[in-house]
Amino acid sequence: MLAPNDLLELTCGAPGHGGFVIARHEGRAVFVRGALPGETVRARVTEVKKSYARAGTVEVLEASPHRVAEACAAAAAGAGCCDLTFTTPAYQRELKADVLHDLLARFGGFDPGAFEPTVEPLSGAPVTGWRHRARLVADGAGALGQHAFRSAAVVAAPCVQLPAALTDLAGAVRAEPGTEVALVLDDAGAAHAAVPARRGRPAKALSGDGLAEYRVGTRSWKVPVGGFWQAHRDAATRYAALVGGYAGQYGGGAGHAWDLYGGAGVLAGALVDEGMTVDVVETSGGAIAAGKQTLAQEPVVFHRGDVASRLKGLRAPSTVVLDPPRTGAGAAVMTAITASAPRAIVHVGCDPAAFARDLGAACENGYRVAELSAYDAFPGTHHLEAFAVLVPGHEDRRGR
pLDDT tens profile 30-55? 999 999 999 999 999 999 999 999 99
Residue 68 to residue 91: CA distance in whole angstroms: 11
- Residue 281 near residue 309, CB atoms below 8 Å: no
- Side chain identity at 179, as an amino acid letter? T
- The domain locations on the chain are 7-67, 91-125+233-392, 133-224
Query: Nearest-5° angle of CA 165, CA 169, CA 173?
Result: 180
pLDDT of residue 197: 86
Fold of 91-125+233-392: Rossmann fold (3.40.50)
Fold of 7-67: OB fold (Dihydrolipoamide Acetyltransferase, E2P) (2.40.50)
pLDDT of residue 400: 39
pLDDT of residue 201: 86
- 180 among annotated binding-site residues: no
- 376 among annotated binding-site residues: no
pLDDT of residue 394: 65
Q: Which residues are catalytic?
A: 350
Pairing of strands 154-155, 144-147: antiparallel
pLDDT of residue 396: 52
- 293 among annotated binding-site residues: no
- Residue 176 near residue 200, CB atoms below 8 Å: no
Q: What is the mean pLDDT of each run of 10 residues along the chain (400 residues)?
A: 95 98 96 99 97 97 98 97 98 98 96 93 95 97 96 95 98 96 98 91 92 97 96 98 97 94 98 98 96 98 96 96 97 98 98 98 96 98 98 64
* Residue 113: how many other CB atoms lie within 10 Å: 9
- 230 among annotated binding-site residues: yes
